Amino acid sequence: MNKQIIALPGSIVNLRFEVGREFSGRMSLKTSKNAAVALLCASLLNYGVTRFKNFPRIEEVNRIIEVLESIGVNVKWHEGNDLEIRRPEELKLEDMDKDAARKTRSVLMLIGSIMHDSESFKIPYAGGCKLGERTVEPHLFALQEFGVDIVATQGHYNVTVNKRAPGELTLYEQGNTVTNNVLMAAARTGGTTNVQSASGDYMVQDLSYFLQKLGIKIEGVGTPFLKITGVAGKIKKNITYAPTEDPIEAMFFITAAVVTNSEITIERLPYRWIALELLKLKKMGLEYTMSEPYKAGNGVVDLADVTIHKHDGKLTALADKIHPNLYPGLNPDNLPYFVLIACVARGRTLIHDWMYENRAIYYTELTKIGAQVELADPHRLYVLGPTKFSRADVVTPPALRPASLLLIGMLASNGVSTLRGIYTIQRGYEDLAERLNSLGAHITVFHDL
């Protein structure tokens, strides 16, 4: 069976669910979307051959690959989802695929890698999920410290470079992509850069481990304080790096197990990256068991196999609000799953999604499948459980995590449900229909022309 959902030209991919049952089995996690796109951008720092092991074949990755290929980078998939990247001596930046670039916010991270070899270039405006205004000012302020000037014009950011070593800088916002941009900017800038208010989140850690293989010295990985000793001049190394498994995908399958009251073992879970999420679930009454830890393919991150046990309707709502925070707090991308988990817990839960202007609004889509969700304001909502999910025919909302909530909720509904136009979900998850079917779901993929 083909391992990817391939859309026919001009078609829309939909999913039909014939479910309402418990699932069982084992699920091995794919590697991280957010780490993958950062690593693709960082591959331009290397003039040697870069090979990534077990890379995720998802739409977000495809868009960055399209951008890289359009500027002359040779990208080749190998068996087992290994990806090989060879950059040319000169990038054809004027040929950049604007349509692909505008479909992902990750394109902003190209600035931190391209700046070392080009004195001026253009980057199309970034896109991605529709979660409200997400300012690029933190990128502008941080990269200015490296002598990078970014001016927004019609449809593009005009970038000019007069590179210098900043010595010390404080990030305007403790964001993941801005921290990644600074890591790449410092990687080939001579001297030492001390960064305060860095993100310590999982995708930043993965990028840091990759850069260390390129010879960059990085201290403080996983903390708000980074000390980066860069390499002046070109880097030319033939290296292989294995990204870590995705903690957000882990939360997807944990939520699927909880919502369908199923026992599922999730293999290769980077458990320390979702330690608080697991603790909150435990306090709600969920029982799980964990194997002895073992190393990820990169030899750094600890993994474990985690079995989620059936709760038989015994989960209770937490008395305190559930909200995201900076690492090692509850991951902002995992917060949406607690909306759905709260639907099957007894009692009323307050969810406070303070990081995004518009994301909480999309949680009200769950009312279409029977959830009792009350929006208090653009950032807060109340969820009343337990819920008996109902079948529905729904168009996928344009935000990745809220869209995936509908998919999981439909797994728990009785009868036939349809989720239409799933491109948003394909941006972040690989081949979900086949993988969920391996656990006992009955999901059919079909296309509208």
What domains sit in the chain, N to C, each tagged with a CATH number?
12-30+245-448 (3.65.10.10), 33-241 (3.65.10.10)
Contact 278, 286 (CB under 8 A): no
Q: What is the pLDDT of residue 2?
A: 38
Task: Write down the pLDDT at residue 127.
Answer: 55
Per-residue pLDDT 10s for the chain (449 aa) are 333 444 444 579 999 998 767 899 999 999 999 999 999 999 999 999 999 999 999 999 999 999 999 999 999 999 889 999 999 999 999 999 999 998 887 888 999 999 999 999 999 886 544 434 446 889 899 999 999 999 888 888 899 999 999 999 999 999 999 999 999 999 999 999 999 999 999 999 999 999 999 999 999 999 999 999 999 999 999 999 999 999 999 999 999 999 999 999 999 999 999 999 999 999 999 999 999 999 999 999 999 999 999 999 999 999 999 999 999 999 999 999 999 999 999 999 999 999 988 899 999 999 999 999 999 999 999 999 999 999 999 999 988 888 999 999 999 998 899 999 999 898 888 899 999 999 999 999 999 86
Four-point Cα dihedral 431, 432, 438, 440, nearest 10: -160
- Beta carbons of 104 and 63 less than 8 angstroms apart: yes
- Asked if 404 and 249 count as a contact pair (C-beta separation under 8 A), the reply is no
Give the closest residue to 312 by CA, choosing from 266, 347, 371, 260. Answer: 260
* CA distances (Å), origin 319, targets 277, 306, 343, 345, 362: 15, 26, 15, 12, 24
Tokens for 24?
């069982």
CB-based contact 271:302 (threshold 8 Å): yes
Quick one: pLDDT at residue 137? Answer: 86
Distance CA 302, CA 150 (A): 39
Q: Is residue 352 packed enough to be buried (19+ CB in 10 Å), middle (13-18) or exposed (0-12)?
A: middle
The residues facing 86 across adjacent strands are 49, 74
Question: Do 246 and 56 touch, CB atoms closer than 8 A?
Answer: yes
Side by side, the strands of the sheet bearing 380-385 are 347-352, 380-385, 372-377
Helix (H) or strand (E) holding 219: strand 217-219
Q: Which among 89, 90, 93 is positioned nearest to 71, based on CA atoms?
A: 93
Q: Is 251 helix (H, G, I), strand (E, B) or coil?
A: helix
**398, 130 contact by CB (below 8 A):** yes
Q: Are 124 and 156 in contact (CB under 8 A)?
A: yes
- State both tokens at 268: 């290769």
Taking only the tens place, the pLDDT of each residue in 84-134 is 999 999 999 999 999 999 888 788 899 999 999 999 999 988 654 443 444
- Select from 180, 251, 219, 241 the least CA-distant residue to 34: 180
* pLDDT of amino acid 152: 81
For the stretch 218-271, pLDDT in tens is 999 999 999 999 999 999 999 999 999 999 999 999 999 999 999 999 999 999
**Neighbouring residues of 96: CB distance < 8 A, sequence distance ≥ 6:** 67, 70, 71, 122, 123, 124
**pLDDT score of 20:** 63
Cite the DSSP H helix spans in 51-175.
59-70, 98-101, 110-114, 137-144
pLDDT at 4: 44
Q: Where are the beta strands (DSSP E) in 309-388?
A: 347-352, 372-377, 380-385
What's the CA gap between 395 and 392, in Å, rounded? 10
Which helix H or strand E contains 169, and what residues bound it? strand 168-170
Whole-number pLDDT of residue 163: 96
pTM: 0.93
| CA atoms of 440 and 95, how far apart (whole Å) | 46
How many whole angstroms separate alpha carbon 346 and alpha carbon 344? Answer: 7
